[in-house]
Structure 1
């Protein structure tokens, strides 16, 4: 068996923290707090060390660079919640995977972009991936198709969360809630729709019921799972 790379953040032994000095977990928690409040771009080795009253050189004893710090942050976020308990039903299990991932992403607005790229290979992330694949294999024993099905579910989760996060950023940028923003556009929208050139949009505005983000997510997820069931003959 191939030995893990000795320089990997996951295999390198952690030095014991000096007396009353922060350790790796404290640095990672501080970095998560910065990223959640201000975005991932605000996370730097100097900032994280400073927030804990530590010298940057002390942080470098544990974590080689910012990339390693981000890897540790991703894995810590992925390990915050227990894994969904497996059931005899693939649909229930894949839905639990999707809802759990969505909850994590909504707590950490910066995380979706990291998960959309190269995967983190930390222990929490690997455990979550193993659990998710097990749920997908219950849908189809073909590991390629199971992986593709899981990718479809994850893509839906990422897209749904991206929309919610964009709405949050717009709120923060403008200082207007969604309801306030809609009211501010009311006269313009009314004038546009009164011209009669957009009848479907008019129906959407006047007839459609508003649903909350949780209900919209659940509906879309049901559609994805229905499609997988049809495509894979379940």
Structure 2
């Protein structure tokens, strides 16, 4: 398989600006309507080009997806590593969450394909450098990064699912809670679910950011003591 990153037509000296225009148009479509709406024909229409002409810059849809993934990881270049592994990895996680929330389609692609473009590799290199302050063992460092990424993907997936539910039903979370309140009162009154009742009646509510930060703190504390 020929990778897009290794082929001459994608050298910055040649068609970089044209490729960038195609990629940005594709990202705009995916952000607004999801990956199902993304096709070479649709992107061609967006950039006011014939579909055949588009293939001069991008060989196929899979190649376009690779370019899109790398482009969005380049939106927020990684910061300098401070040497405080806990703070540095926390910032890595927060930056990943920010990017995934801006581009709701990205998580699906991260779970299904490696990202080997220059922006992705630069970010991974910086993350490995941050993890090196925790452990010089590169295998363990890579495992920590993978686990951190899995946590971020899972947390963001839940947040995006709530956004999708609101879009699909036309109800905010608060409106949904109000709609199920009569049923919950019946459940509580039955006495059949005491722990669930405690959760509903006594527990405070964390928003998505607070929940994310709580989980992140727990994960990093666990990593520190792991063998």
Q: What TM-score results when the alignment is normalised by the length of structure 1? A: 0.92
2:98 paired with 1:99: no
Aligned pairs for 1:1-234 (under 5 A) are 7-14=2-9, 16=14, 23-232=18-227
Deviation of the 1:50 alpha carbon: 0.4
Instruction: Output the CA distance in 2 between the equivalents of 1:90 and 1:137.
Output: 8
Deviation of the 1:206 alpha carbon: 1.2
Greater helix percent: which structure?
2
Instruction: Output the CA distance in 1 between the equivalents of 2:56 and 2:27.
Output: 19
Deviation of the 1:53 alpha carbon: 0.9
| Partner-residue secondary structure (3-state), 1:63 | coil
Do 2:77 and 2:123's aligned partners in 1 also have CA atoms closer than 8 Å? no
Deviation of the 1:67 alpha carbon: 0.3
Deviation of the 1:59 alpha carbon: 0.8
Deviation of the 1:14 alpha carbon: 2.7
Instruction: Output the CA distance in 2 between the equivalents of 1:231 and 1:191.
Output: 44
Instruction: Output the CA distance in 2 between the equivalents of 1:55 and 1:24.
Output: 15
| Uncovered stretches (5+) of structure 1, i.e. residues with no partner | none
After superposition, the C-alpha distances for 1:104-137 in whole angstroms (9 at most, x for unaligned) are 0000001011111221110000001111111112
Off by >4 Å, runs of 4+ in structure 1 = none
Instruction: Output the CA distance in 2 between the equivalents of 1:84 and 1:218.
Output: 20
Do 2:34 and 2:105's aligned partners in 1 also have CA atoms closer than 8 Å? yes
Deviation of the 1:84 alpha carbon: 2.4
Deviation of the 1:163 alpha carbon: 0.3
Do 2:83 and 2:130's aligned partners in 1 also have CA atoms closer than 8 Å? no
Instruction: Output the CA distance in 2 between the equivalents of 1:136 and 1:58.
Output: 44
Deviation of the 1:179 alpha carbon: 0.3
Deviation of the 1:11 alpha carbon: 1.9
Deviation of the 1:13 alpha carbon: 2.2
Aligned residue-pair number: 223
